[in-house]
Amino acid sequence: MQVAANGIALEVDDRGPPDGIPLVLVMGLGMQLTAWPEEFVQQLVERGFRVVRFDNRDAGLSQGFDALGVPNLAIAGIRYALRLPSRSPYRLADMAADTLGVMDALGLASAHLCGASMGGMIAQHIAARRPERVRSLTLMMTTSGARGLPQPTLRARQALLARPADNSRAAIVAHLERVMQRIGSPAYPPDPAVMHRRFEQAVDRAWRPAGTARQIAAVIADGDRTPMLGAIRAPTLVLHGRADPLVPPAAAHDLGVKIRGAQVEILDGMGHDLPAPLLPRFVESIATNSRRT
């Protein structure tokens, strides 16, 4: 279903009992709500959660911003390297307001919040600036954006910025498979047939590379969130893969130091994805953290 949130139309999936424990999932760069695996959502529902996931602006079936153009990411990267401010069509703070708008549309005064990768960056904004809306916070494979942290490996960076050979469905799916091979969990390789089918379904649902470029620009422009992290009061859990080549695990330890009372779990063999064998572990950790309120 679509809801009006922060003045735009966002696609929302709302699972579980209406009176269940509200849990809002915020997905990462260019990804759709379907990137949260169905089995993960179902396991959370079985724990008593009302699970809300949604397509971020410029992704999936939510409203796009093509009228704002496609940013020059090369220039944005150079300005970042030179420690100069960077412009973006919109900011992560706008995407945080979108998330709060989804909660408003569903009548959720507060909720447990879980963000993955860019979604974790968005969640940091919400928890710091609107603490009354966040019951607990789970940050998965994400970062504060502090400049001194290790950067993505060259292979991971190349995968993130690569493009399909052409605009055919087969080429796009092959491109997504190559990206996952570069950044995924080495100890938990997905079944190739299952991965192929999921990427086909994702491409059939939506393929919006221009929107992803605008989201990348928003991440670059956001810079270092360290100054806001001291304002986070929600019980916080940081989940991260020891083998993450896109956001190296030093970022998790950094968040653990900067967010008061944060607990950090580093998972061996996990990269920058949500491997099926680890889903029960994620569910248990989120449920445990939710009880710290």
Q: Which residues of 28-57 are buried (b: 16+ CB within 10 A; e: fewer)?
A: bbbbbbbbbeeebbebbbebebbbbbbbbb
How far is the C-alpha of 113 from the C-alpha of 74, rounded, in Å? 33
What is each CA distance from 80 to 83, 205, 280, in whole angstroms?
Answer: 5, 33, 38
Tell me the per-residue pLDDT of 23-76, one tens digit each, with 9 for 90 and over. 999 999 999 999 999 999 999 999 999 999 999 999 999 999 999 999 988 888
Q: 246 and 28 in contact (C-beta within 8 Å)?
A: no
Q: What is the CATH code of the structural domain delimited by 2-151+209-290?
A: 3.40.50.1820
Residue 193 forms beta bridges with which residues?
none
- 233's tokens: 């009061």
Task: Kindly report the pTM of this predicted structure.
Answer: 0.97
Residue-range domain boundaries for the chain: 2-151+209-290
How far is the C-alpha of 271 from the C-alpha of 189, rounded, in Å? 10
Mean pLDDT of 112-139: 98
Name which of 116, 131, 121, 98 is nearest 235 in CA terms. Answer: 131
Q: Which amino acid is at 121?
A: M
Instruction: State the pLDDT at residue 70.
Output: 93
Residue 82 has pLDDT above 80, yes or no: no
- 280's tokens: 């029960």
How far is the C-alpha of 193 from the C-alpha of 258, rounded, in Å? 41
Residue 280 has pLDDT above 80, yes or no: yes
Spell out the residues 6+ positions from residue 7 whose beta carbon is closer than 8 angstroms to its own.
101
Spell out the residues 6+ positions from residue 41 whose beta carbon is closer than 8 angstroms to its own.
13, 15, 25, 51, 53
Name which of 145, 148, 152 is nearest 225 in CA terms. Answer: 145
Mean pLDDT of the chain: 96
Residue 188 has pLDDT above 90, yes or no: yes
Instruction: State the pLDDT at residue 100.
Output: 98
Q: Which amino acid is at 250?
A: A
Q: Is 55 left (phi over 0), alpha (psi -120 to 50) or beta?
A: beta
pLDDT more than 90, % of the chain: 92
- 270's tokens: 């996990």
Question: For residue 22, which phi and psi values (nearest 5 degrees)?
Answer: -70, 130
User: What angle do the packed helices 209-222 and 73-81 form, to 10 degrees?
Assistant: 10
Instruction: State the pLDDT at residue 162.
Output: 87
- Where helices occur in the chain by DSSP H, the ranges are 38-46, 73-81, 92-105, 118-129, 154-161, 169-183, 192-205, 209-222, 226-229, 250-258, 279-290
- What is the 8-class DSSP label of residue 84? -
